[in-house]
Amino acid sequence: MSAIRIIERKSAGRTLEAGELRAFLGAYLEGDVPDYQMAAFLMAVWFRGLSGAELDAVLDTMIASGASLDLSHLDGPRVDKHSTGGVGDKVSLVLAPLAAELGLYVPMMSGRGLGHTGGTLDKLESIPGFRTDIALDDFVSILERERFAMIGQTPEIAPLDRRLYDLRSVTGTVSSIPLIATSIMSK
């Protein structure tokens, strides 16, 4: 796997194979691909996008990079409302408890602000004593009891997304639709 070759091919608008994307992203997570090369790749994606197959490969790699929560034991529908920034972040704060009151389970993993918008977590953490850094077991317990729980991204769930999210915030690639979509769906 050659990081430079992958960056060059994506920059030229070519479609990458699932295996080479998985290897490239895995190498980044392991520290074998430096941030500056991943930043170049993210910018290539920003300009050229991802094909459906590439999007699937990136998403699968992000999900497989960490743990998943099994919420199949919950006795009702599970829903989420995920914001991509701005006004939508405020909607989450009202909509999620309302949905829970209607009998839906609302497990939410929210992020920090990207670019110029403050994220849902940034807003919640401005409330004295409000914690978003709870353990996954506690998150599930709160969800079972209250039908709604919100947590910040953890080291266990989608660590690849966390690294890419942080890099996107400083590389001008926040607005890339494929990167937004894979980030949201991986959590």
Instruction: Round to whole Å and give the CA distance between 91 and 89.
Output: 5
Set 82, 123, 166, 169: catalytic member: 82
Set 10, 168, 176, 186: catalytic member: 168
Told to judge if 82 belongs to the known catalytic residues of this protein, a careful annotator would answer yes
Instruction: Round to whole Å and give the CA distance between 83 and 73.
Output: 26
Instruction: Round to whole Å and give the CA distance between 19 and 61.
Output: 10
- CA neighbor of 123 nearest in space, from 92, 165, 159: 92
Told to judge if 183 belongs to the known catalytic residues of this protein, a careful annotator would answer yes
Total Cβ atoms within 10 A of residue 14: 11
Helix, strand, coil share of the chain (percent; to 5): 55, 5, 40
Set 83, 92, 183, 186: catalytic member: 183
Set 161, 162, 163, 176: catalytic member: 161
How big is the chain by its Cα radius of gyration, in Å? 17
Known catalytic residues are: 82, 161, 168, 183, 187
